[in-house]
Structure 1
Amino acid sequence: MNLIEKVVGDFGDKRRWRDYKARVRSLPSGYRTTAQALERYLLNFGATEGDIWLQAFEDLADLFEQAAADGRPIREIVGSDPVDFAEAFAANYGGAGWINKERQRLVDAVARAEEQERGADS
């Protein structure tokens, strides 16, 4: 990695992101709106490594491009609960990075507190 890439990041990943964004912008409006909403949710849901999420977003673009080409209704893609769809989609790419760590941290903290409580009762 050269000095410029260290400062501004990997050019290949930036190119892939720009290409993905262009693909989404070219979708018919309903598909575009849904893909952009899913993107926003997934980005806030908690990413893991960048290259994994780049692949996920590229796959999302593939899904919506194919659905648009086939004329499939949006609800046929995301189902009745878009949140369930988004979280199941994210799970295929390693889940929700930070939220999984926070869930485990919460479980561990409660277990420690329980141990402390038992120690205090002795």
Structure 2
Amino acid sequence: MADESKSRYLQYLELVTGPLEEKKRWRQYKARVKGLPDNYRTAVEAMERYLMHFGPADGAGAMTMYEDLMELFERSAADGTPIRDIFGDDPVEFVEAFMANYPLGQYRTRERNRFTSAIERAAQDDRKQ
């Protein structure tokens, strides 16, 4: 009976706060970020802010992306790869290409294409009138 009550409580808690496993993964990710050298941590935190605004919004897909980001930066830090060598000359181009590798990042590309096509169709209708 106690296990059943706990299960209901956890179900309710996850309904209100989101999946507990995702929160655990997020805390683990943030601990890994803290373990990076200062310049790598600064770069990861900047990319994280960008991804929070423009990246995938779902928990599992986003967490996979952040964990992959950590793999990249932990390896780069271990190898001594300069930050500019990771991002290249255009950090936005890098982060957009990085996001495109994840399903919800591809959603943004599809929506951009859909939007561009709709504007093109509307512009063609202007020429007909």
TM-score normalised per structure 1: 0.82
Structure 1 runs (4+) greater than 3 angstroms displaced: 96-100, 112-118
Structure 1, gaps ≥5 residues long: none
Give ranges in structure 2 of 5+ residues lacking alignment: 1-9
* CA pair 25-96 structure 1, distance change in 2 beyond 3 A: farther
Residues 48 and 98, structure 1, Cα contact 8 Å, conserved in 2: no
1:13 aligned onto 2:22: yes
Q: Partners in 2 of 1:37 and 1:96 — Cα distance? A: 21
Alignment partner of 1:81 out of 60, 78, 90? 90
The more displaced of 44-53 and 16-25 is 44-53
Root-mean-square deviation (CA, aligned residues, Å) is 2.3
Q: TM-score, normalised by structure 2?
A: 0.78
Q: Percent identity?
A: 44
Aligned length: 119
Equivalent pair of 2:55/2:62 in contact (CA under 8 Å): no
Report SS of the residue matched to 1:47. coil
* Higher relative contact order (Cα pairs below 8 Å, separated by 6+ residues): 1
